[in-house]
Amino acid sequence: MKVAIGVCLAVSLLVPTLSFAQLGFDPANPGRLFTRSLAQKVAKPLGHGLTAEEREYIENNFNDYLATKYGDATRIRDNKTRMAPAEYEKADGCCFGWQGYTSLLTQLISFVSESSTAYVVVDRESDIDYAKKRLLQAGAKEENLEFVVKYLNSVWMRDYGPWWTYTNDGEREIIDLDYNRPRPHDDEFPSALGRKYNIPSHVLDLILPGGNLILDGHGVAIMTDVTFDPSQGGDPNMSVEEMEKFMKDYFGCKKVIILRDMHQDGTGHVDMFCKLLNDTTFIVGRYANPSDGAPGNAEILDEAAARLASETNGKGEPFKVFRIPMPPRKWGTTYTYTNSLICNNKVLVPVYGHPTEEEALNVYRKVLPGYDVKGFDCNNIISANGAIHCITKLFMADPIELNHETPETAAGTNTFTVKVDSSDLPQKVEMHWNYQGGEVQKVDCVPGDKPGVYQADLDLEDGAKINYWFSADLERGIKGTFPKGSGSDRLSVTVGQ
């Protein structure tokens, strides 16, 4: 079931009606946008769904639209294997596009910055001072604010922002998917972010908005069938088999679960009714009465919950499914509590002042004890067909990082320690060492007194010179070393000196 044009026009009454010029859309140059000032975008932000003008362009120029998306893909020409992390895993911080709904963004950024970096994307250098002043006044931690200058079209960071993948040798890379909207400045963002932070980026010929992809971190992807819907900017020529190959090659996915999209919610994205809270636990929306949602949506949600409960994650473990209330639909708007953000130990949940609010927050608290769960009023943004998840995108941490300080040594037993900071517990940590000119030996490192610290004891001869390095292997096949690239780069110490 797909969103009808008539329905979209009805929904558009809830957001500002914008002309081609106001949208920055140039019908004479397909796929291009005029530059709009930040003030214009804040006053009249682009909605999450397709505008009437964008829809008209896609319907009348579909091949031209596809041409703007395809053709600039990069090809990976190495033998590395890749695995994409899940959203509940460790992140350096979160990306936000300062492009409208700035009152809500100010609250979200301030909360995230308490313990993580907030990457705030502004159009120009001159926009930084105002945004920074406003955020600091709201209590944001200045040391955790990172401003990125990149002109954007819209606030919907989830759909155009970076995806991440980890290589088997412990490197972090960006996957740049095509946004299912004719908004080229948004589409440029992931690769621009990679260039700024010197992170390798791979551009794919794959139209897939971020709000319609859930990853379990172990090789399972979940999305809705709106991915293939041209009325939402998708590519109907893409086969399920082709999608599965993309997900396998670039995200390390062994299985793709495709659910039915909700009717008349503006996007058809999976994050409007579904959320993965850890590697075995989903929450799926549920309407108290079928009439509370658009026709057929209560059945679609029940079907999704049953389907996920019958599935397993990438480790073969069964998924558990908890149901969470869906507030009644009102004035053509679908309200949801699943459009939330997990950023390390913080959970940001959209709320609307509905009586089911506390029940919904308690679902999160039950599944995620010890997390800081907080609700944020999203009444002003939900009519544009999105909430918190839709305007945020994680900046994932390195999958594994090893650190070591060379100890003082003496004849006899010496303890060497290494700190392993990783996305999951290492299966094996080893110290590789040899006397100068001698054969390399391996010693297992055992957990030390502090979390993440591992140690190895060596009996060494006074005055001898040894070379050494450390390695750690994670469950997902990721390997980290210290120093990086060890084998060629090694540490050395002379015993007793």
pLDDT digits 0-9 by tens, 251-261: 999 999 999 99
Q: What is the pLDDT of residue 487?
A: 57
- Joined tokens for residue 2: 């797909």
Q: What is the pLDDT of residue 235?
A: 93
Q: For the residues 396-411, what does the mean pLDDT come to?
A: 93
Q: Are strands 446-447 and 465-474 parallel, antiparallel or unpaired?
A: unpaired
pLDDT in tens, 205-215: 999 999 999 99
Lowest mean pLDDT among 35-39, 114-118, 188-192, 265-269: 35-39
Q: What is the pLDDT of residue 38?
A: 64
Q: How many CA atoms lie within 13 A of 73 on its CB side?
A: 15
Contact in structure between 363 and 320 (CB atoms under 8 Å): no
pLDDT in tens, 147-201: 999 999 999 999 999 999 999 999 999 999 999 999 999 999 999 999 999 999 9
Contact in structure between 149 and 122 (CB atoms under 8 Å): yes
For residues 350 and 425, which has the higher predicted lDDT (pLDDT)?
Answer: 350
Rounded to an integer, what distance in angstroms lies between the CA atom of residue 200 and that of residue 190? 10
- Joined tokens for residue 330: 């009102």
Q: Is the pLDDT of residue 17 over 50?
A: no
Q: Is the pLDDT of residue 6 over 60?
A: no
pLDDT in tens, 227-246: 999 999 999 999 999 999 99
Q: What is the pLDDT of residue 2?
A: 29
pLDDT in tens, 359-373: 999 999 999 999 999
With CA atoms as reference, report the closest residue to 433 among 490, 473, 387: 490
Rounded to an integer, what distance in angstroms lies between the CA atom of residue 291 and that of residue 304? 18
Q: How many CB atoms lie within 10 A of CB 250?
A: 19
Prediction pTM value: 0.89
Q: What is the pLDDT of residue 186?
A: 96
Q: What is the pLDDT of residue 488?
A: 62
Rounded percentage of the chain residues whose pLDDT exceeds 70? 91
Q: What is the pLDDT of residue 10?
A: 27
Q: What is the pLDDT of residue 28?
A: 47
Q: Is the pLDDT of residue 444 over 80?
A: yes
Q: For the residues 300-327, what does the mean pLDDT come to?
A: 98
Q: Is the pLDDT of residue 140 over 70?
A: yes
Q: For the residues 324-353, what does the mean pLDDT come to?
A: 97
Q: What is the pLDDT of residue 225?
A: 96
pLDDT in tens, 41-80: 766 788 898 988 899 999 999 999 998 888 777 777 788 8
Q: What is the pLDDT of residue 490?
A: 86
Confidence of residue 496 (pLDDT cuts 50, 70, 90): confident
Output the average pLDDT for the chain.
90
Q: What is the pLDDT of residue 41?
A: 72
Rounded to an integer, what distance in angstroms lies between the CA atom of residue 107 and that of residue 281? 28
Q: Is the pLDDT of residue 393 over 60?
A: yes
Q: What is the pLDDT of residue 22?
A: 43
Q: What is the pLDDT of residue 363?
A: 98
pLDDT in tens, 241-294: 999 999 999 999 999 999 999 999 999 999 999 999 999 999 999 999 999 999
Lowest mean pLDDT among 356-360, 367-371, 447-451: 447-451
For residues 25 and 2, which has the higher predicted lDDT (pLDDT)?
Answer: 25
Q: Is the pLDDT of residue 35 over 60?
A: no
- Joined tokens for residue 95: 């990306």
